[in-house]
Amino acid sequence: MQNEQVNASENVDSAVLRQGGVLEALLLRGIFEVKCFDKDGKLKWHDIIKNVVTIVGKNLALDTYLAGAAYTVVGPFMGLISSVDYTGVPVEANTMASHATWKEAGTTNLPTYTAPRKTCVWSAANAGAKALSAALSFVFTGSGTVKGCFLVYGTDAVSTIDSTAGTLYSAGLFTGGDKTVVNTDTLNVSYTASL
């Protein structure tokens, strides 16, 4: 005689995965597009700068976006970064009064260009981006090496080259490395900020 036994068992597992809320991130970023032309208007080189937006720049932007009342923008003014005494890249902690690893080009530091810093004029924002309405032109009066560009604005900002007044919004270096310019060259610089 044969005994057959069957052991029956039943297992039930379940899990409920839920995620609540909506995650949205705001990332301030900008791109400088720079073209260098010789005295005859021939394109010498073209490069892009993906900038760092500084902490003080982010704070000023947030204060004006979310709490500004009858706020008038001063600037922004665009300047150039010189290779003179350069020791390090622009970082988030930089301010106009404290950026010891880089200096502004224009008068004291080569290359020199016709003053003052250039004033940004903007087109209307579109698709989460705001661009200059036209490229800003820097006409060089002395030869030298340019490393990149920066933007300064805020109630104390001025167009005077080498001024430490105002809020450093952004700064960045050329993606293709340092760029040499000579007397009579012109840099045409466009900028687009996006969120």
Q: pLDDT per residue over 115-157, tens digit each? A: 999 999 999 999 999 999 999 999 999 999 999 999 999 989 9
pLDDT given for residue 55 in this prediction: 93
Q: What percent of the chain has pLDDT over 90?
A: 75
Question: What pLDDT, in 10s, does the model give residues 147-180?
Answer: 999 999 998 999 999 999 999 999 999 999 999 9
Q: Which amino acid is at 98?
A: S
Please state the rounded mean pLDDT for residues 66-70.
75
Q: What is the 3-state secondary structure (H, E, C) of the chain?
A: CCCCCCCCCCCCCCCCCCCCCCCCCCCCEEEEEEEEECCCCCEEEEEEEECEECHHHHHHHHHHHHHCCCCCCCCCEEEEEECCCCCCCCCCCCCCCCCCCCEECECCCCCEECCCCEECCECCCECCEEEECCCEEEEECCCEEEEEEEEEECCCCCCCCCCCCCEEEEEEECCCCCEEECCCCEEEEEEEEEC
pLDDT of 22: 54
More confident site: 65 or 134: 134
Do residues 58 and 28 lie in contact, with contact meaning Cβ atoms separated by under 8 Å?
yes
